[in-house]
Amino acid sequence: MKFQWKGVMPAVTTKFTEDDKLDVKMFQKNIKAQLDAGVHGIVLGGSLGEASTLMEDEKERLIKETAAIVSGRIPVIMTIAEQATKLAIKAVQSAEKSGADGLMVLPPMRYRATDRETIVYFKEIAKNTNLPIMIYNNPVDYKIEVTPDMFEELLEMKNIGAVKESTRDVINIGRLRNKFGDRLKILTGVDPLALESLLLGADGWVAGLVCAFPAETVAIYELAKVGKVKEATEIYRWFLPLLELDISPQLVQNIKLAEVATGIGTENVRPPRLKLEGAERKRVLEVIEKGLRSRPELPNYKALVKPHA
């Protein structure tokens, strides 16, 4: 497998049983559905994966289970989201030992680091691994923005090569592409801006609703990349109300309800998260049910993929 920061990379949910253990059977079912749809990588342990609630041994098991299923066909990416540099380095080394192929690294958690502190943090992590690194740039949720000038310094590290672009400012894709060309791979991280981002030159999509709708997500990507914009847009417009479930504090609960509806997940979450109830649960279910009633017939998008692309 040649590692590439490109394509659709699901930020998968972590499956739990009713008694709060890892639901490995359902997790395997979902990963296999992602593979069948043609995704290009799997991202574990992100915010959608409830990373802050996972134990170290659970993270290790998720990496090993995923690596066994994908069997080298696509990369397995582990998210690093820690409060202290030494804890991040420890998590990186654990991920590498467990079989991760790459890392998605968040800035320091629960501390609003300065630009200099953020750069040093990322560089220290990069120095302690040979794995490829994607920086997660999400100032909306994490209050730290990695600017183009900061990326100029970060790209001094040979294994830092990509950004999950979640500023929600699509102009930033052009800024980064103009400044770095192909030196920095750009993957959009905001579901309701995904098609726009791909058409503006993003290399890939770290997706959320793909967890429940893998084929539709990959179809949009493949169609966009071969210039079939009309066909991609038709699917995307159908998908948009569902994609907007990703930009909510309750994105985990929302997407898990969608996974239940498509038969590849459960709605079990780990406290302090709780299952949705009342009016909000009703609203989300109505969005999902409406989407399922009008689910489009997909073209043969897999035929668009070039061999060994």
User: Considering its fold, how many domains does the chain have in total?
Assistant: 1
CB burial of residue 180 (10 Å; 0-12, 13-18, 19+): middle
Q: What is the pLDDT of residue 154?
A: 98
Considering only CA atoms, which of 156, 135, 155, 157 is closest in space to residue 146? 135
Using the predicted structure, report yes or no on whether residue 5 has a pLDDT greater than 80.
yes
Q: What is the pLDDT of residue 179?
A: 97
The pLDDT-based confidence of 102 (bands split at 50, 70, 90) is very high
Question: The CATH number of the domain where 76 resides is what?
Answer: 3.20.20.70
Is 246 inside any structural domain? no
Rounded mean pLDDT of 169-190? 97
The pLDDT-based confidence of 307 (bands split at 50, 70, 90) is low
Q: What span, in angstroms and rounded, lies between the C-alpha atoms of 191 and 210?
A: 9
Rounded mean pLDDT of 8-32? 98
Q: What is the pLDDT of residue 306?
A: 72
Rounded mean pLDDT of 14-34? 98
Rounded mean pLDDT of 169-183? 96
* The overall pTM is greater than 0.85: yes
Q: What is the pLDDT of residue 271?
A: 97
Q: Phi and psi of 277, rounded to 5°?
A: -145, 170
Q: Indicate the SS3 state at residue 23.
A: coil
Is 142 inside any structural domain? yes
Q: What is the pLDDT of residue 64?
A: 98
Considering only CA atoms, which of 208, 160, 204, 205 is closest in space to residue 50? 208
Using the predicted structure, report yes or no on whether residue 309 has a pLDDT greater than 60.
no
Lowest mean pLDDT among 94-98, 183-187, 305-309: 305-309
Is 64 inside any structural domain? yes
| 184, 199 contact by CB (below 8 A) | no
Mean pLDDT of the chain: 96
Is 38 inside any structural domain? yes
DSSP alpha helices (H): ranges in the chain? 24-37, 56-70, 85-98, 115-127, 139-142, 148-154, 171-180, 194-199, 214-225, 229-243, 251-261, 278-293
Rounded mean pLDDT of 31-52? 97
The pLDDT-based confidence of 127 (bands split at 50, 70, 90) is very high
Using the predicted structure, report yes or no on whether residue 136 has a pLDDT greater than 90.
yes
Which residues touch 300 (CB under 8 Å, ≥6 apart)?
none
Please spell the DSSP secondary structure of 255-296, one letter per residue.
Answer: HHHHHHHTTS------TT-----HHHHHHHHHHHHHHHHTPP
Is 293 inside any structural domain? no
Using the predicted structure, report yes or no on whether residue 204 has a pLDDT greater than 60.
yes
Q: Indicate the SS3 state at residue 63.
A: helix
Using the predicted structure, report yes or no on whether residue 253 has a pLDDT greater than 80.
yes
Rounded mean pLDDT of 93-101? 98
- The predicted-structure confidence for 270-288, as pLDDT tens digits, reads as follows 999 999 999 999 999 999 9
Using the predicted structure, report yes or no on whether residue 165 has a pLDDT greater than 80.
yes
Is 138 inside any structural domain? yes
Q: What is the pLDDT of residue 19?
A: 97
What is the extent of the structural domain holding 32? 7-237
Is 13 inside any structural domain? yes
The pLDDT-based confidence of 11 (bands split at 50, 70, 90) is very high
Is 62 inside any structural domain? yes
Which residues touch 73 (CB under 8 Å, ≥6 apart)?
1, 35
Q: What is the pLDDT of residue 305?
A: 82
